[in-house]
Amino acid sequence: MNNDEIVKVEQEQVSSVGKMDMSGAFGASSINVEKVEGAQNFGKTVKRLIKYMRPEMLALIAMIILAAVGAWFAVWVPDILKKVTNHMVESIQYFKDVDLWYVGEICFTAAGLYVLNATFTFASGLIAASMAQHVVRRMRFDLKTKLDKVPLKYYDSSTTGERLSRLSNDVELVAVTLQDTVNQVITVVMTVSGVLFMMFRLDWLLSVITLASVPVLLIVSSLIIKKSQKEFARQQELIGKLKGHIEEMYAGHRVVLLYNHAEDSIEEFEKTNKLLLKATRKAQFLAGIILPVIKLINNIAYVLICVIGGFRAGAGIISIGDIQACIQYTRQFAQPIENISNIASTIQSSIASAERVFTMLDIEEMTPDAEHRDMSGFVGEVDFEHVAFSYSDDKPLITDLSLHVNAGESIAIVGPTGAGKTTLVNLLMRFYELKGGSITIDGVNILDMHRDDLRSLYGMVLQDTWLFKGTVADNIAYGNANATREDVIAAAKKAHAHEFIESMENGYDTILNDDASNISQGQKQLLTIARAILKDPKIIILDEATSSVDTRTEQYVQSAMLAMMEGKTSFVIAHRLSTIKSAAVILVMNHGDVVEQGNHETLMAKGGFYANLYLSQFQGRGEGEDGDGDGTGFVQT
């Protein structure tokens, strides 16, 4: 991924998402809640997510039971402890001895219930974590499998950031929700229902006082949270902008210095930095004020319960132990109510994420593959018969293309931008499906071949090289898993890469970094040619493989390509026409069709589209001054 894409991904992840961690204020587990657009179809997505969790249904049921029972143990404790309070009051009031055995028995029971609560909560958390990871593992696997099966047009119409967001952010948010939030929801439901049941058993008036604090609590907390979410979103937007600015300035640091924009860069950085400071202060202030406000409301409820409870205890309606139990229940009742906003926000975000994941899983796949076949006898004779293709139904690109290529023949493909050159080879490799006509190799329709078998016939060298992080040897052997070290070295020698590889610190065991920036562009190209040589394909495809290297390196690259193309059917896409003058056949494409066909001399003598195209490139330059040494296109060695 290039720097622009990295910046875009980071900005997409933070500018459109307001992450806020309210766990400290609400007493919840630490969850970064993403403020995202809500699900388009919440109910349908929930049903599908539950269906997707069907293999883990036993674990889900076990988690629900453990969480519910664990919550009930905690609810039960105040009703037991009130007996200790009542016993102590009676002992003092009637000058009785305190029955320490009775008190100890009750305290031991309460401690045991708290231990059971912790044990059941821990067990349900472990099950939830295991269940969540199993679900998201399948989800990641299904997404990766889907991305391997979707047609290339999906990659053309979506960004790298979108795909990464589905595989990382969305899946992780679903995992967090399944692991933490489901457990919290069960605990909240069980705690609230259990507390209300126990409180109404003790005293209806004190229960009503507790319930009366709920709407006040929800209204105040929701107002603060709504405001703080905006500030957190603003904060993350500015963080994304700041990171983007830093990435951009340091990626193009030399250009910034060359044009004397260092001061402007610092000024822009400081401006954004100050805005970020201001937004962070607001966000942290609002986040910090939630807990004190909630505690204030709860404390008012406690005071009312104590005062009114005292009057009712004095009147003999309830006992002192009942008041103590009601205060404990009020505290138990308040905490899950405080968590509701956070839980609701997390659930909404995760269901929206799940919906986006399911949307990707619903993408139309490529047509099913044919059975595998033995490809050893293929020689590379290619026929295009009345091929028609378009990227969209209203804009036809190739209307009626017919072409015969003999085995071992070298075909150059030229034409202006958008003529259909790359489309032609994409159709050949079945990256796109035809709208009409057929393509055959050695008389076999490519639709009757398994895609893996078909692509095993090809070797490809592109203008944009792709090398992965690993050793030089592993990169060369990427297309041939059975290659020995001797095979790798032989391919490197044919590609004129052996000498520079040997000069590296660890030779063939030198580790290339993520973007292979520790070697030059020309060296990258030679390694990709060595990779193609080692694969020993029947058909070679070269897509302007020398356009990004210097003249001297181009000679080595072209010499390596000639060695690779010897005896192979070759398709050479070229923008610089000087590089294909020696090709046996040149196909001239325009608007998706082959408009001229022949060798360089024939086409120039014809004075048609190719001649005009060639002369427009070399107007004002002498024949032979085309930068390839001898004016013959491919360098002869």
pLDDT category at 10 given cuts 50, 70, 90 is very low
pLDDT for 441? 92
Distance CA(295)–CA(220), nearest Å, equals 12
Residue 484 DSSP one-character state: -
In the predicted structure, residue 621 carries a pLDDT above the cut 70: no
pLDDT for 526? 84
Task: Give the distance, in angstroms, between the CA of residue 121 and the centroid of all CA atoms in the same chain.
Answer: 32
Supply φ then ψ for residue 525, to 5 degrees. Answer: -65, -40
The mean pLDDT of 319-343, rounded to a whole number, is 74
CATH 3.10.450.200 fits 39-200+351-362, yes or no: no
Q: Higher-confidence residue: 440 or 205?
A: 440
The chain-wide mean pLDDT, for the chain, equals 77
Helix (H) or strand (E) holding 469: none
Side-chain-side CA neighbours of residue 461 (13 Å): 35
Residue closest to 83 by CA, chosen among 358, 324, 379: 324
Ordered alpha helix ranges (H), 536-598:
551-565
In the predicted structure, residue 100 carries a pLDDT above the cut 60: yes
Helix (H) or strand (E) holding 257: helix 253-258
The mean pLDDT of 433-444, rounded to a whole number, is 89
Q: List pLDDT tens digits, range 251-262.
A: 777 777 777 778
Amino acid at 348: Q
pLDDT for 545? 62
pLDDT for 260? 79
- The structure tokens 């004095």 sit at 314
Under 8 Å between Cβ of 9 and 223? no
Name every residue whose Cβ is closer than 8 Å to that of residue 176 and which is 6 or more positions away in sequence: 31, 32, 132, 346, 350
In the predicted structure, residue 345 carries a pLDDT above the cut 80: no
Residue closest to 539 by CA, chosen among 461, 637, 600: 461
The mean pLDDT of 592-608, rounded to a whole number, is 85
Which residues are paired to 405 by β-bridges?
Answer: 382
Distance CA(406)–CA(390), nearest Å, equals 26
Amino acid at 495: A
Q: List pLDDT tens digits, range 569-589.
A: 888 887 767 667 777 788 888
Residue closest to 22 by CA, chosen among 220, 287, 235, 286: 287
Do the bridges between strand 585-590 and strand 593-598 make them parallel or antiparallel, or are there none, so unpaired? antiparallel
Distances in whole angstroms, Cα of residue 326 to Cα of each of 70, 72, 147, 213, 225: 20, 16, 56, 14, 29
pLDDT category at 620 given cuts 50, 70, 90 is very low
pLDDT for 161? 62
Under 8 Å between Cβ of 145 and 360? no
Q: Higher-confidence residue: 484 or 9?
A: 484
In the predicted structure, residue 51 carries a pLDDT above the cut 60: yes
pLDDT for 56? 86
Q: 437 in helix, strand or coil?
A: strand
pLDDT for 222? 73
Domain ranges of the chain: 39-200+351-362, 204-317
Under 8 Å between Cβ of 97 and 91? yes
Q: What would the two tokens of residue 78 be?
A: 């105040």
Which residues are paired to 458 by β-bridges?
Answer: 539
Q: Higher-confidence residue: 473 or 18?
A: 473
pLDDT category at 123 given cuts 50, 70, 90 is very high
Under 8 Å between Cβ of 523 and 492? no
Angle between helices 182-202 and 320-361 (to 10 degrees): 160
pLDDT category at 627 given cuts 50, 70, 90 is very low
Query: Rounded to a whole number, what is the largest CA-CA distance in the chain?
Result: 125
Helix (H) or strand (E) holding 265: helix 262-314
The mean pLDDT of 120-137, rounded to a whole number, is 89
